[in-house]
A and B are shown apart, each in its own frame.
Chain A
């Protein structure tokens, strides 16, 4: 028996494994840096002291674009439109998606597979196909394009993300807590408000943040359903086509980036405190 213990090969392999790990570690960081490079470029060019139309070459450091961050009405209005649309569609998508998530996580029912399939289709459907079909739909109805159609579209493609996030939270819950509430005389609504909702809240906020992020970033579907309304991404795309991105766009992009990081950090801290 003892002759079978393969001591030598194991020892020979260990250092090689560590070298491999170190290479993988370096590689992972290299790709992360590559992924973050455009973010750095965006932030950097918000500080670029350029003159004229083309903010593509580095000329030196300035804070003037931050001093005049809101000097371009076109960009401001686009940003305002994006925020209005994101807030309204997040509220709606979170409400509708949470209900679906509860149903999918809690019950076994006929039509569950179909519900999953529709949501999977809504999540993985190419944006251009969604945009095209919504445009065809609104044209057919003679429904005017604008804020309403954009919000309809945004709620449609983000509610499934909320449902999936809430569902996976619901699946981890201990049902006996709710049963205890009912045994203690709480009604259905009271149980939901005081017991179920607080327990699924991390899933709900994560879903809401996700749908806000998807909404504020969306270009393709918005472009098809916007009519004359210009959101931030649609405006950037237009400015790009007309030849130049003003530095204010970089400044606002930086604001969104930092705001997003703050929200994510707050959400992470809040869920850590809840779980502790």
Chain B
């Protein structure tokens, strides 16, 4: 009896939260998939007709926005890795006692609402804002120079908003590098550069991989940055999905688009999960 209870205990603990995830995460995902193959409208209801044309219609209309989302997401991720690696390296190896203080500072933006942070960038970068108006009055840039409503503004916004998501997993990976291994490398006459390229960097690759996924997924599916910092030529796929779902209320098209987005991103996550194992990333995400 005691044994049976001990055996069942974890299931009892998991039951309430597990049910919540099953009903409000797994089932809705299935609903989204089935909705994307339906026909109908709000007044008459929807029928599952296996209407795969929803996909071809949606993709043929909106492929430029899909492509753009992937491009912007990739650009923000590459920039993010390049910007974050030195910081994560410095905190992990030279942070000493202040490691957690530096990590806290990197996370500080999360204490301000994401939408508000992006709007602050808009204030800062606006045509007569804090950055451009002094430059313009000094004559350093021309009067009609602008940053908002450009691809640069959107990619910078995406890079900015998701940078901490890269720093954290990179830091976790670099922190785990055993200093004795680094020492051994220099004892074996490897220079600083060789030590980095042959020892430290390969050991930090799981962190790079995790950082790429954790940055690329939200950046490619983001649309707030594009709407606030970008112009009409910077629309990302998220805007289209939101518009189709909340304004046009064409649920089959909206669900088809988000299914394609999810499918594309899932491929990346599976690659990741294979290479690293899920438990590590959960830990990285929790810090």
Given contacts A36-B109, A58-B130, A129-B258, A99 and B117 within 8 Å (CB-CB): no
A38:B124 contact, CB within 8 angstroms: yes
Is B245 in contact with A233, judged by CB distance below 8 angstroms? Answer: no
- CB <8 Å contact, A256 and B111: yes
Bound complex: CA of A100 vs CA of B12, how far in Å? Answer: 9
Q: A24-B89, A35-B108, A240-B115 are in contact. Are A136 and B278 (CB under 8 A)?
A: no
Chain B residues, Cβ within 8 Å of A16:
192
> Are B251 and A109 interface neighbours, CB within 8 A?
no
Closest to A20 in B: B192
| A164-B111 contact in complex given A100-B18, A136-B31, C-beta closer than 8 Å | no
Are A253's CB and B286's CB within 8 A? no
Measured in the bound complex, the distance between the Cα atoms of B86 and A220 in whole Å is 31
Q: A215-272: which residues lie under 8 A (CB-CB) from chain B?
A: 216-217, 219-220, 223-224, 232-233, 236-237, 240, 245, 249-250, 253, 256-257, 260-261, 264
Q: For residue A202, give the distance in angstroms from its CB to the closest CB of chain B.
A: 13
Q: Does B27 contact A (CB under 8 A)?
A: yes
Chain A residues with Cβ below 8 Å from B242 are 128, 223-224
Q: Nearest CB to that of B133 among chain A residues?
A: A57
Give the chain B neighbours of A42 by CB distance below 8 A: 112, 116-117, 120
A28–B13 touching, CB < 8 Å: no
Q: Which residues on B sit within 8 Å (CB–CB) of A122? A: 21, 25
Task: Please pick, from B25, B102, B115, the residue contacting A233 in the complex, using a CB distance under 8 A.
Answer: B115
**B26 interfacial by beta-carbon distance below 8 Å:** yes
CA distance A117 to B279 in the complex (A): 9
- B6-52 with Cβ < 8 A to chain A: 7, 9-11, 13-14, 16-18, 20-21, 24-29, 31-32, 35, 46
Residues 106-150 of A contacting B (Cβ, < 8 Å): 106-107, 109, 111-113, 115-130, 132-137, 139-140
Q: Report how many A-B pairs have Cβ atoms within 8 Å.
A: 265
What 0/1 pattern do residues 198 to 227 of B give for CB contact below 8 A with A? 000000000000000110011011011000
Quick one: which of B109, B220, B254 contacts A38, CB cutoff 8 A? B109
B94 close to A (CB within 8 Å): yes
Q: Which of A34, A100, A237 contacts B14 (CB 8 A)?
A: A100
A119 CB to nearest chain B CB (Å) = 6
Query: What's the nearest-Cβ distance from chain B to residue A131, in Å?
Result: 8
Task: Report chain B residues within 8 Å CB of A37.
Answer: 120, 124
Give A59 to B112 CA distance when docked, in angstroms: 24
A62 within 8 A of B: no
Instruction: Indicate if the CB atoms of B31 and A253 lie closer than 8 Å.
Output: no
- Which residues does chain B contribute within 8 Å of A126, judged by CB atoms? 217-218, 220-221, 261-262, 265
Contact partner of A6 (CB less than 8 A), chosen from B29, B122, B128, B189, is B189
A54 and B121 alpha carbons, distance in the complex (Å) = 15
Which of B114, B164, B246 is within 8 Å of A217, CB to CB?
Answer: B114
A27 to chain B, nearest CB (A): 6
Min Cβ gap A254→B in Å is 9
Q: Are B192 and A256 in contact (CB under 8 A)?
A: no
Q: Interface extent on A, as a size class?
A: 35 or more
Query: B140 at interface (Cβ–Cβ under 8 A)?
Result: no
For residues 85 through 106 of chain A, which have their beta carbon under 8 Å from a beta carbon of chain B?
95-97, 99-100, 102-104, 106
Contact of B221 among A55, A107, A128 (CB under 8 A): A128
User: B177: CB under 8 A from chain A?
Assistant: no
Interface residue A71 (Cβ < 8 Å from any Cβ of B): no
A236 pairs with B119, CB closer than 8 A: yes
B266 to chain A, nearest CB (A): 9
B121, A129: Cβ atoms closer than 8 Å: no
Closest chain-A Cβ to B4's Cβ sits at a distance in Å of: 13
Asked if A25 is an interface residue, CB under 8 A from chain B, the answer is yes
A190 at the interface (CB under 8 A from B): no
Check if B273 is an interface residue, CB within 8 A of chain A.
yes
Residue A152 CB within 8 A of the other chain: yes
State how many angstroms separate the Cβ of B94 from the closest Cβ of chain A: 6
Instruction: Check A32 for interface membership: any CB of B closer than 8 A.
Output: yes
Per the bound structure, the CA–CA distance linking A36 and B17 in Å amounts to 36
User: Is there contact, CB below 8 Å, between B262 and A56?
Assistant: no
B241 within 8 A of A: yes
**Are A109 and B11 in contact (CB-based, < 8 A)?**
yes
A residues in contact with B130, CB < 8 Å: 41, 58
Chain A contacts for B179, CB-based, 8 A:
none
* Chain A residues closer than 8 Å to B221, beta-carbon distance: 126-129
Query: 7 additional contacts, CB 8 Å, given A128-B223, A240-B228?
Result: A28-B87, A34-B160, A36-B109, A38-B121, A95-B16, A256-B113, A257-B111
A-B CB contact pairs (8 Å), 25 listed: A32-B102, A39-B111, A39-B120, A41-B121, A41-B124, A55-B123, A99-B13, A100-B14, A100-B17, A103-B11, A103-B14, A109-B10, A116-B278, A120-B282, A126-B261, A128-B261, A129-B29, A161-B285, A164-B285, A168-B283, A213-B110, A224-B246, A233-B114, A249-B116, A250-B116
